[in-house]
Structure 1
């Protein structure tokens, strides 16, 4: 089915609301055949989901993991590049938040579900962003629409 969807134009690196790609899913399921097909179509091996996981982080099947790691090596993906990719999202958010603040943006603004910038940073473990926001006196105990504080989210996501 996957090959059929791709043949008809499905985006190999499409993302869901949690930024999971088809390769994240195939790796999680330990489906080496799907991983091979996706990699043949240039699936993004460095794609980060909202938990900060790349497809290989989620793979528990040794044969599938060996394939993904071999594919990473073939593409010249080094540990340094992996580390840089992981830090890029946090650095981007920090830069965006600093710019937003410098332009008079409300650091206490809330999203559609009542989540604050602090909530978003807490989910991803973005310590530098959290430190900046707290230094600007963003309320540490602010809640989203579910009543969750940033501390709940940091704990839930293992941060």
Structure 2
């Protein structure tokens, strides 16, 4: 069993390492600087300098070079700079089991509860990798043991080692955290925000990195009540994230049949293609294939019926016989 736990821990660590490696040295990591370029050369150069500083900062942290990290912070580097996957330097230090860097970053203001694009906090990362010392340190410095990632998982849920599970369970008990309530917290907050939007007292913004909207999230996770309220708000049912996925792509991929039906009833584009040319059917859970085909046929039938009705209305429209008036010629 210990060998299996170790393998899972290594797999989790490698997965997070791969995220950073895909980014390091890439010029695609310009999160936070889009739209800041001004006309003229100076604005463009400034954006590139900021991007370079973020890349250098992350690399210095990953290398464990605290002196360079401190210098970069004095020069204005953002300690919570995130790459395209939403990973911060603190996430990476946790993954690397670099306790000294974790301490240095936290003491200098790093956000211990910042989630990456998948909602993983540094505590999720440390718990997944089985790093007891770092986990204890994060908890002692305000890490939320009741935080949930995008899959609704607590740090406890991604822990693979008995010692880590015991530690997190003890902390959950100590803090009196309602685990079931914590897992449903995202849906509760989203429903609250959606209702505020419906009443005209709120607004929803896409995720800064992925551009996923609240409708994407509700569709992927099957938050039916949230979805219904958002649809009442007349949000764009065919909105796209950074990969060109629409909400029905997300619902189809995660096997959310009821969501797919709701979106289809609101005439979402069942044939929409993402950035690599895939339709919702192409990315769908195999168990949903027949359902999606039926929904598309139903949509097509509704469109045909509507077109026929419009044709009949146009044909029966009485012709207006407006008398032609003789144009007056000024005297």
TM-score (norm 2): 0.39
Check if 1:99 corresponds to 2:199: no
Secondary structure of 2:181's match? helix
Deviation at residue 23 of structure 1 after TM alignment? 0.6
In structure 2, what is the equivalent of residue 12 of structure 1?
A: 112
**Quick check: 1:87 aligned with 2:184?**
yes
1: CA distance between counterparts of 2:231 and 2:110?
42
Distance 2:214 2:239 in 1: 11
Structure 2 SS opposite 1:24: helix
User: Offset at 1:150?
Assistant: 2.0
| C-alpha contact (below 8 Å) 1:51/1:157 kept by paired residues | no
Distance 1:89 1:20, change over 3 A: same
Higher relative contact order (CA 8 A, sep 6+): 1
CA distances 1:57-93 after superposition (whole Å, capped 9, x unpaired)? 111122211211122122222xxx2222232321221
- Tell me the residue number matched to 2:168: 68
Q: How does 1:8-157 map to 2 (within 5 A)?
A: 8-77=108-177, 81-103=178-200, 115-134=212-231, 142-145=238-241, 146-154=243-251, 156=253
Which blocks of at least 5 consecutive residues in structure 2 are unaligned? Answer: 1-99, 257-331
Deviations 1:94-151 (A, max 9, x none): 12212212329899x97776644321212343221123334666665x2515332323
Larger radius of gyration: 2
1:21 and 1:105 map into 2 onto residues whose CA distance is 26
**RMSD, aligned CA:** 3.2
CA gap of 1:151–1:35, structure 2 versus 1, over 3 A, is same
User: What TM-score, normalized to structure 1?
Assistant: 0.74
Alignment size in residue pairs: 154
Are residues 154 and 65 of structure 1, via their aligned partners in 2, closer, same or farther at CA, if it must alter by over 3 Å? farther
Which stretch of the first structure deviates more once superposed, 126-135 or 111-120? 111-120
